Amino acid sequence: MALDYRKCAEEIVSHIGGRENIVQAAHCATRLRLVIKDNGKVDKKALENVDGVKGMFENNGQLQLIIGTGTVNKVYAEFLSVTGMTEATKDDVKAAAAAGQPIWKRMLKAVGDVFVPILPAIVASGLMMGFVEAMGKVYPEFASTSWYDFLDMVANTAFAYLPVIVAISAARVFGGNIFLGAVIGLAMIHANLVNAWVVGSLETIPAWNFNIFNFIVSVNKVGYQGHVIPVIIAVYLMCAIEKWLHKHTPEMIDLFVVPFTTVLVTTFLTFTIIGPIFSQLESWVLIGAEKLVHNPFGSAIMGAIYPWTVVMGLHHMYNVIEAGMLAVEGGLNTWMPIASAANFAQFGACLAIGIKARQQRTKVVAIPSSLSAALGITEPAIFGINLRFFKPIIAGMIGGTIGAFYGALSGIGAKAYGVTGIPGYLTIAQPFQYTILLAISGGIAFVLAWIMWHEETPEAEAAPAAPAEPDKVVEFGTVISSSAGEIAQCTAGKVIPYTEIPDPTFAEGTLGKGVGIIPEDEYVYSPIDGEISSVAESKHAIGISGENDMEVLIHVGVDTVEMKGDGFVDYVKEGDKVTKGQKLMKFDRAKIKAANHPDTVVLLLTNSDDYTDVKFGENV
């Protein structure tokens, strides 16, 4: 009997809470993709029983109903008719799903997405800068050599041109032309501008005076060295302008009109609006900091907010305060202990994550980033780990508060400026008290981050004896390949075509094409680098989103949802970043067989219909 497309659409709408509960809807080759306002109004059991719905799962904020090739488009047409909605694309649905998150989460995610690709560069530079500066302090004669000059240049390159690196990465994240993004970043640190690191020492700052309709707009010629947030804002603006222009510019003149207008408008707005806002913010922070550091409670406040001034790129101006303190006869730099407490607290928080984390990707970023922070370069730790996971930066703020308070009470001060953390021993006047300060700030932050941050590892994970170390990366051959990338075998065993999987839904390719694996092991490993998009409540299935929009499903056993999680241990949760070969799950083959279910592990590229060059099989 033919499917009643209208009835199918009506039942779907009624079981997801009606039209008012739908944000966006689209379809791909096999699935109806929905973004829902309130998931609590969705009757999942009823949806599974709708005639025409062959399965469903949640992925990246989307409710995806599996309907099948050649049918889903007809159900979708009726769905639009029933709801009165207009046709949308998969990208529209993705955007709607992302927009459904709280704004602070979206902002943190945007910053994280910008920084993750550039972390290797700034981690390497941070470590090298710390070591080079320390060597120069320990061996003053080395600081005058060509070797020091060369190493110092190489070490600070990533930070000297950080706005350019950030701009390119931001353009990629926001969907703009990365080369136009590079131009925006270069303009913000142009040689004609006063370097932001030295502007505080100048009595007068050169400025542009723009005559706009007989109204003079004065803009200081100051660069954005060390800044992050204004660069991201500028490139976000650039991408919005570029996209708008592409839509409204005739194709014949698009090539020269869009880039020219985009760069001109973005740079002008950056220097006349974004620049003055951050310049004023710098002035307020500097004035506030100067007033606060003269008493222990004010120092504690600065110890707390210091990492946020790093995030905003405002921390370079503190050299003015330090220079002023040292300029007084017999002066002592009491600002340095505040900065050291704040920085070492970020070190402690980041180190805690590096030690506690099970995911290899988190560890390989956190450990070197924490070492960089211990040497006084905190950007890798803050942007790579602490801000991204949020709770660690809060732990660091608390540690920095208490450490700075102790430093002010103890009267600790330095005889120079420019170094914090471990290299600070070279300039500090009271090394014993300074050691206590570092121990307080770093130790408190470490303990709090350890307590506050969780990967939510299931308790059952500790029960089975693992034949391999939890963090060991296991490599298998490729079993699925396409223009989007390669997907490796996810567990040891014999690979079979998906058509031989003992379940019609899998064998017909309804959920996507792939392979089955008759297991010889009881562990499942990630077949790609990506992000966990879904973990079944019954623990038997995991979804992963990979590069180039690959959507991978790992389903252990057939009909094992009926086991309600018995015999399964998941080592990851939704939102976790995973690397290829990382352990994801343990399953008990004996329990699966005792429940009379096939233990075949199903590995599918669920959106295989999006590609025309997909190959399947062992070692493709």
Determine the Cα–Cα distance for residues 542 and 574; give it in Å rounded to an integer.
Answer: 9
Closest by CA position to 307, among listed 224, 404, 222: 404
Residue of 28, 239, 350, 490 marked catalytic: 28
Name which of 339, 344, 306 is nearest 441 in CA terms: 344
H or E element at residue 254: helix 251-269
CA angle 389, 394, 396 (to 5 degrees): 100
Which conformational region is residue 545 in: left (phi greater than 0), alpha (psi within -120 to 50 degrees), or beta? beta
Instruction: Provide the residue type at 197 as one letter.
Output: W
Catalytic residue check, 28? yes
Instruction: Indicate the DSSP class of residue 332.
Output: -
Concatenating the DSSP letter of every residue in 314-360 gives: -GGGHHHHHHHHHHSTT--B-HHHHHHHHHHHHHHHHHHHHHH---H
Closest C-alpha to 349, from 300, 317, 390, 293 = 390
Per-residue CA distances from 618 to 522, 529, 558 (Å) = 19, 19, 21
Matching residue, tokens 């994280």: 112
What is the C-alpha to C-alpha distance for residues 251 and 36, in angstroms, rounded to an integer?
Answer: 37
- What residue type is assigned to position 263 of the chain? V
Q: How many angstroms separate the CA atoms of 226 and 162, rounded?
A: 6
289-318 b/e (C-beta count within 10 Å ≥ 16 → b): bbebbeeeebbbbbbbbbbbbbbbbbbbbb
Quick one: which H or E segment has residue 385? none
Contact 35, 22 (CB under 8 A): yes
Return the structure tokens found at 62. 């989307």
CB within 8 A of 100, min separation 6: which ones? 23, 35, 37, 61
Distance, in Å, from the CA atom of 306 to the CA atom of 314, rounded to the nearest integer, reads 9
Write down the catalytic residue from 15, 315, 555, 597.
555
User: What's the CA gap between 2 and 103, in Å, rounded?
Assistant: 45
How far apart CA 616 and CA 609 sit, in angstroms, is 13
Please choose, from the candidates 386, 292, 400, the residue with its C-alpha nearest in 3D space to the C-alpha of residue 338: 400
Type of residue at 28: C
- Which has the closest alpha carbon to 384: 106, 123, 110, 130? 123
User: Amino acid letter at 8?
Assistant: C
Write phi, then psi, for 76 (nearest 5 degrees).
-65, -40
Rounded Cα gap, residues 543 and 453, in angstroms: 24
Q: Taking a C-beta distance cutoff of 8 angstroms, is the pair 442, 395 a contact?
A: no
> How far is CA 502 from each of CA 132, 290, 541, 559, 593, rounded to the nearest angstrom?
62, 72, 17, 10, 14
**Which sequence positions are flagged as catalytic?**
28, 555
